[in-house]
Amino acid sequence: MKRFAVHAVLVAGVAMCVGQARAQDEPSIVAQCETCHGPKGNSTSAKIPRLNGQQHEYLVARFKSFRDPTRQTPHATQNMWPVSGQYAAQLIPRLADYFANQTPTPAKPSGPLAAEGQKIYEQGAEGVPACRTCHGDQAGGRGQIPRLAGQHGEYLRTQLAAINMGMRVSEAMHPTAKNMSQEQMDAVVAYLAND
């Protein structure tokens, strides 16, 4: 019995040390994230999403979703699936806090389709509900609904197309995206993006 008690104490001690080491490594883990997602999450690569100012709850849920590669785009699976299992569960909310509390990149509507995109975003179109119903008047998102304003246009376009074709699983977005034409997607992206 004493041997079992000693073993339990040793296991608990090792777990505590690992947890403390992971907490101490938080700045280096943030630095790893910033390697791809940019300083403070403000990515400069059109294929890699901006995390700065993103909704905390969305970041936590999205990070956890990478543990199921069958629900992701190939790009996300290739880059995030190997990473998603490396971090302790308690670290993910802290990483989300860091990126959620950074200054968001504002939307910068551009091009001839932006006005049509604003109309779809605010009022919807036939078979397509208004995006602002869920994502908010300023496309800032809320809770597990992501911020869209200021995201890279190529990233937004790729995600809408992937959801439209069922390559990225999103129970909330699929009923909307499946009814969007390519021109409607391009218009909404022109309104929301900052390239």
Model pLDDT, residue 22: 46
Gap between the Cα atoms of 40 and 98, Å rounded: 8
Q: Assign 128 to helix, strand or coil.
A: strand
123 occurs within a structural domain: yes
180 occurs within a structural domain: yes
Q: Assign 19 to helix, strand or coil.
A: helix
144 occurs within a structural domain: yes
CATH code at 151?
A: 1.10.760.10
Model pLDDT, residue 89: 79
Count: domains in the chain: 1
171 occurs within a structural domain: yes
Are 64 and 18 spatial neighbours (Cβ–Cβ below 8 Å)? Answer: no
89 occurs within a structural domain: no
Q: pLDDT tens track of the chain, all 195 residues?
A: 444 443 333 333 333 333 443 444 778 889 999 999 999 999 999 999 999 999 999 999 999 888 888 878 888 878 888 877 777 778 899 999 999 999 999 999 999 999 999 999 999 999 999 999 999 999 999 999 999 999 999 999 999 999 998 888 888 999 989 999 999 999 999 999 999
Domain extent, residue 186, equals 114-192
Report if pTM > 0.85: no
